[in-house]
Amino acid sequence: MATLDRVSAAAPIGRRDRKKAETREALRRAALELALEHGYEQLTVEAITEAADVSVRTFFNYFASKDEALLGSDPQRAELLAAWVAERPPDEPPVAALRAAFAQLAESFAEGQPLWEARMELLRRSPQLWGPLFAGFVVFERSVVEAVAARTGSDPDADLYPGVLAAAAVGAMRVAVAHWRAGGESAPLPELVISAFDLLAGGLKKP
Amino acid sequence: MATLDRVSAAAPIGRRDRKKAETREALRRAALELALEHGYEQLTVEAITEAADVSVRTFFNYFASKDEALLGSDPQRAELLAAWVAERPPDEPPVAALRAAFAQLAESFAEGQPLWEARMELLRRSPQLWGPLFAGFVVFERSVVEAVAARTGSDPDADLYPGVLAAAAVGAMRVAVAHWRAGGESAPLPELVISAFDLLAGGLKKP
């Protein structure tokens, strides 16, 4: 086993990330299925980990609470996005750096999609989950604000700039996802995201 | 009384609108105070109208439900905004028309402000209200989408443009309000709104 652990630790990053994404997805799916079957109030972390066949400790490597597993909130997603923004060429305009980072985020969205319907059904049945969902949006947008502020040397509390750019970016992403879903996911999401950001970069003139 | 009614019906629009705004505000205030005092579940429309000294029928001229009174959702606000957008000169770029309309909306925001703290407190105590609040945001943004689509002859379901512009506009407004509140409301809100929309019109380049 020790040998196996070392082998997997030395495995290429792509495979390890894929394995982690699979575990995260399995936990989310188990949480949603159990909540829809037995009710949100009855759901425990123990039941989720039993259904997904992992330890409770593993669960808390991925999520801070059952709500986080149910809602698809993902602190890692915000961290990844911030890292991608930081990695863009320093002379690239901020809106172009966000366009590239959000398009990269869009690449990972297709996988989680089948859970969205289940999540909407759960929100219909347990409207108290809208609060944590909303809180997750706020945390995500705040991380975009900070990524913009770090890149541009702005003060997010004194300057409108980082906040308005982040709100516009998150809004553009949201609208691209809504169009993608409404269109039966026929157009590739990253392309829609790039089109939406091009509207921002063009001063929202009608194309 | 009939004479008085005719007189008030003939009164200048400014005064009648002010009177209506006062009644709406009194109903909201009564609803929030009662909900915080006795709990959300116990609140009835009858209790609100008694406290505000108006008829139940009057209540329903302003709000469709107790939730609407509590949450500051306001279908009239969305209608007003859409009307202001439609009234802007036809050759004005869409983002400039929205800038003018949202700045006009901002003029009316200062009044309702003292209720925001009470509303946040109620949301903390009754998280099931996040659902209706969120639904109100969605309805408001959709009305902006439709105002843009009507003005530009776009199809909001086929084109990304009206959705992205509306999301960016609502986001810019939200960030302007957040800065205004965080700054102790020292700067006039309409000026902050105009600055935020100027960032949109400038393609979100750092100023």
Of A123, A127, A163, the CB nearest to B178: A163
Of A123, A160, A204, the CB nearest to B192: A160
Token pair in block for residue B103: 């700045």
**CA-CA distance, A127 to A40, in Å (whole number)?**
10
**CA-CA distance, A120 to A124, in Å (whole number)?**
6
A54 pLDDT higher than 80: yes
B1 pLDDT higher than 60: no
Question: Residue A8: what pLDDT?
Answer: 35
Question: Residue A66: what pLDDT?
Answer: 93
Amino acid code (one letter) for A128:
Q
Whether A80 contacts chain B with CB within 8 A: no
Confidence band for B72, pLDDT divided at 50, 70 and 90: confident
Mean pLDDT of B20-27: 88
Question: Residue A58: what pLDDT?
Answer: 95
Token pair in block for residue A134: 């909303």
**A127-180: pLDDT as tens digits:** 888 888 888 888 899 999 999 999 999 999 999 999 999 999 999 999 999 999
Report for A177-186, B78-87, B95-104: range of highest mean pLDDT: B95-104
Give Cβ neighbours of residue B31 (< 8 Å, ≥ 6 apart). B43, B48, B66, B69, B70
How many Å lie between the alpha carbon of B50 and the closest alpha carbon of chain A? 29
Q: Which of A173, A180, A200, A206 to mutate to test the interface with B (most CBs of B within 10 A)?
A: A206
Token pair in block for residue B69: 């009174």
More confident residue, A117 or B61: B61
Token pair in block for residue A44: 């425990």
Task: Judge contact between B81 and B102, C-beta under 8 A.
Answer: yes
What ipTM does the predicted assembly reach? 0.84
Report for A13-17, A52-56, B79-83: range of highest mean pLDDT: A52-56
If we measure between CA atoms, which residue out of A38, A43, A83 comes closest to residue A63?
A43
Q: For A145, which residue in chain B has the nearest alpha carbon?
A: B175
Token pair in block for residue B99: 């800038």
If we measure between CA atoms, which residue out of A103, A102, A99, A95 comes closest to residue A165?
A95
Whether A128 contacts chain B with CB within 8 A: yes
- Inter-chain touch B204–A160, beta carbons under 8 Å: no
Whether A206 contacts chain B with CB within 8 A: yes
Interface contacts (A, B; CB < 8 Å): 119
Amino acid code (one letter) for B66:
K
Chain B CB contacts of A203 below 8 Å: 95, 200-203
How many Å lie between the alpha carbon of B174 and the closest alpha carbon of chain A? 8
State CA B201 to chain mean position distance.
23
Of A172, A182, A205, the CB nearest to B168: A172
B91 pLDDT higher than 50: yes
Question: Residue B6: what pLDDT?
Answer: 34
Question: Residue B45: what pLDDT?
Answer: 97
Question: Residue A135: what pLDDT?
Answer: 83
B14 pLDDT higher than 80: no
Chain B CB contacts of A206 below 8 Å: 94, 152, 154, 161
Of A133, A171, A203, the CB nearest to B167: A171
Chain A CB contacts of B94 below 8 Å: 204-206
Three-class SS of chain B: CHHHHHHHHHCCHHHHHHHHHHHHHHHHHHHHHHHHHHCCCCCCHHHHHHHHCCCHHHHHHHCCCHHHHHHCCCHHHHHHHHHHHHHCCCCCCHHHHHHHHHHHHHHCHHHHCHHHHHHHHHHHHCHHHHHHHHHHHHHHHHHHHHHHHHHHCCCCCCCCHHHHHHHHHHHHHHHHHHHHHHCCCCCCHHHHHHHHHHHHHCCCCCC
**CA-CA distance, B62 to A187, in Å (whole number)?**
43
Task: Judge contact between A173 and B168, C-beta under 8 A.
Answer: no
Task: Judge contact between B97 and B151, C-beta under 8 A.
Answer: yes
- Inter-chain touch A206–B161, beta carbons under 8 Å: yes
Q: pTM higher than 0.90, yes or no?
A: no
Q: What is the DSSP string of chain A?
A: -HHHHHHHHHS-HHHHHHHHHHHHHHHHHHHHHHHHHH-TTT--HHHHHHHHT--HHHHHHH-SSHHHHHHT--HHHHHHHHHHHHHS-TTS-HHHHHHHHHHHHHHTHHHHTHHHHHHHHHHHH-GGGHHHHHHHHHHHHHHHHHHHHHHHT--TTT-SHHHHHHHHHHHHHHHHHHHHHHTTT-S-HHHHHHHHHHHHHTTT---
B9 pLDDT higher than 70: no
B8 pLDDT higher than 50: no
How many Å lie between the alpha carbon of A67 and the closest alpha carbon of chain B? 14
Mean pLDDT of B55-74: 89
How many Å lie between the alpha carbon of A170 and the closest alpha carbon of chain B? 9
Q: Which of B160, B197, B198, B205 to mutate to test the interface with A (most CBs of A within 10 A)?
A: B160
- Inter-chain touch A200–B199, beta carbons under 8 Å: no
**A73-124: pLDDT as tens digits:** 677 788 889 999 999 999 999 999 999 999 999 987 766 567 888 998 999 8
Confidence band for B187, pLDDT divided at 50, 70 and 90: confident
More confident residue, B54 or B187: B54
Question: Residue B60: what pLDDT?
Answer: 95
Question: Residue A4: what pLDDT?
Answer: 36
Of B168, B182, B203, the CB nearest to A171: B168
Whether B176 contacts chain A with CB within 8 A: yes
A99 by Cβ neighbours in 10 Å (0-12 / 13-18 / 19+) ranks as buried
If we measure between CA atoms, which residue out of A113, A114, A119 comes closest to residue A35?
A119
Confidence band for B77, pLDDT divided at 50, 70 and 90: confident
